[in-house]
Amino acid sequence: MIAYIWPVALIVLSNTMYQVCAKSVPDRMDPMASLTVTYLIGAVLSGGLYFLLGGRSLMQEYHRLNWAPLALGVAIVGLEVGSIFAYRAGWQVSTKYVMQSAFISVALLVIGYLVYHEALSWSKVLGMAICLAGLFLMNR
């Protein structure tokens, strides 16, 4: 059970910390300069954890690369830049994440169905409708 719960707990903790940090990037600092520090810390931490958890040869791992880690890098930069500029544009920390999560949930349900052939039940469709209704209510 712990193996099932701890990754989600880590995501919740990290994402909460992420939102607070993204909102707290100084207004006078260029977001791209901020991200150079962010990714330097991330690279050092990732490399350290790789070796700490028993990794042996990064070069062997790099030979296994496909398009996904490269696209993930682009996506992560998009998330970071979008979040920083959303907060600078006036989004509240209490609503921005809920808004983006609802839209992402709807998009991923559709992608899951179309690309990964995941089941799309009536309860999921109802959940999408409730997410969209919630977005409407939040923005009134």
pLDDT by position in tens, the chain (length 140): 899 999 999 999 999 999 999 999 999 999 999 999 999 999 999 999 999 999 989 999 999 999 999 999 999 999 999 999 999 999 999 889 888 988 898 899 999 999 999 999 999 889 888 988 988 888 77
How far, in Å, CA of 69 to CA of 78, rounded? Answer: 14
Same domain assignment for residues 9 and 73: yes
Same domain assignment for residues 12 and 70: yes
> Are 134 and 102 in contact, with CB atoms under 8 Å apart?
yes
Same domain assignment for residues 81 and 138: no
Same domain assignment for residues 81 and 117: no
- Which residue segment(s) compose the domain that 135 sits in? 92-140
Same domain assignment for residues 16 and 45: yes
Same domain assignment for residues 27 and 79: yes
**Kindly report the CA angle at 139 between 134 and 140, in degrees rounded to 5?**
100
